[in-house]
Amino acid sequence: MKPLRLLIALLIAQTLVAGCSNKDKGSDDSELMTKAGPAVLTKTIEYKANGKTYKGYLAVPEGEGPFPGVLVVHEWWGQTDYPRQRAVQLAEQGYVGFAVDMYGGGKTAKHPQDAKKFSKKVMGDMNLAEESFRAAMATLRKQDKVAKDKIAAMGYCFGGAVVLEMARRGVDLKMVASYHGDLTPMVKNEVTPIQTRILIFNGAADPFVPKEAVRTVREKLKSANVRYKLVNYKGAKHGFTNPEATEKGKKYSIPLAYDKRADQLSWDETMKAFKIVFR
């Protein structure tokens, strides 16, 4: 009898497992959300633009909402763990963070040469970049817990250039924050009066951002009566917000370095500004 009972128990267990597996396959996205940390739910969302599929990463605070939404635009490496971690940090602060995918298919670069190639392609056609950015923003706005009229963006390195350009183009954003971002688009193009508040956090020791570029951007924003703040962190190099920057800088012999002080100060400054623009 014991072998028979054991066989029956095993059959029941297999049936239960199969039932659970089938339920998961038929579940909608909200049921597939997984815990990322205290009071944060995350999931991957696909969206389409330019005939391509993009993969965004959503981080949502627990609670009824609605919460302000913040788009996070990645460095030239693509949507790695770093921008996703930033999305989670935003959710921990009471915002819906959405790490966007500017390359399509969730593509990431392992080597600076690939990163340069990927980012150059996007920056070479900012009309297409705007289309994909707007698609990501529309996807964020569709989320149930997002306050549709309270959307901002933050970007790092390549992403910093993207969010500044989106603001310059008049995309409806409450605020954009650029961290060690490329200022070239702002330098080359006309800056007209816009409603978006702009924060620019730059490393004073960043060789990728010439002092003349910083000076030019200040003058343009000021003459256009744009609400902005530009902070230069003494001694901070390119990539100062990313804890992996120093290691990557050494590995590829490029001037990258993490700066804990500049990272924390720029984050705190951003959180203070969000409280103002999202009132």
- State the pLDDT at residue 275: 96
d(C-alpha 88, C-alpha 58), whole Å: 8
Whole-number Cα distances in Å, 110 to 107, 178, 219: 10, 23, 37
Closest residue by Cα to residue 157 from 188, 215, 213, 116: 116
d(C-alpha 84, C-alpha 78), whole Å: 11
- Beta strand 197-203 with 228-233 is parallel
* Residue partners of 45: CB distance under 8 A and separation at least 6: 29, 55, 56, 57, 58, 98, 139
Sign of CA dihedral 30, 75, 228, 132: negative
Q: By 3-state DSSP, what share of the chain in percent is helix, strand and coil, each rounded to 5? A: 45, 25, 30
Please list, residue by residue across 136-161, b when 16 or more beta carbons sit within 10 angstroms of its beta carbon and e when fewer do.
bbebbeebebbeeebbbbbbbbbbbb
At 18-39, the pLDDT tens digits run 333 333 333 344 333 555 556 8
- State the pLDDT at residue 65: 85
- State the pLDDT at residue 39: 80
d(C-alpha 39, C-alpha 37), whole Å: 6
Whole-number Cα distances in Å, 272 to 66, 141, 148: 19, 23, 21
Edge to edge, the sheet with strand 40-49 lists 34-37, 40-49, 52-61, 96-99, 67-73, 146-156, 175-179, 197-203, 228-233
pLDDT, one tens digit for every residue, the chain (279 residues): 444 344 334 333 333 333 333 333 333 443 335 555 568 999 999 999 999 999 999 999 998 889 999 999 999 999 999 999 999 999 999 999 999 999 999 999 999 999 999 999 999 999 999 999 999 999 999 999 999 999 999 999 999 999 999 999 999 999 999 999 999 999 999 999 999 999 999 999 999 999 999 999 999 999 999 999 999 999 999 999 999 999 999 999 999 999 999 999 999 999 999 999 999
d(C-alpha 31, C-alpha 51), whole Å: 28
- State the pLDDT at residue 24: 32
At 44-97, the pLDDT tens digits run 999 999 999 999 999 999 988 899 999 999 999 999 999 999 999 999 999 999
- State the pLDDT at residue 37: 56
Would you say 44 and 55 are in contact if contact means Cβ atoms under 8 Å apart? yes
* Residue partners of 85: CB distance under 8 A and separation at least 6: none
- State the pLDDT at residue 15: 35
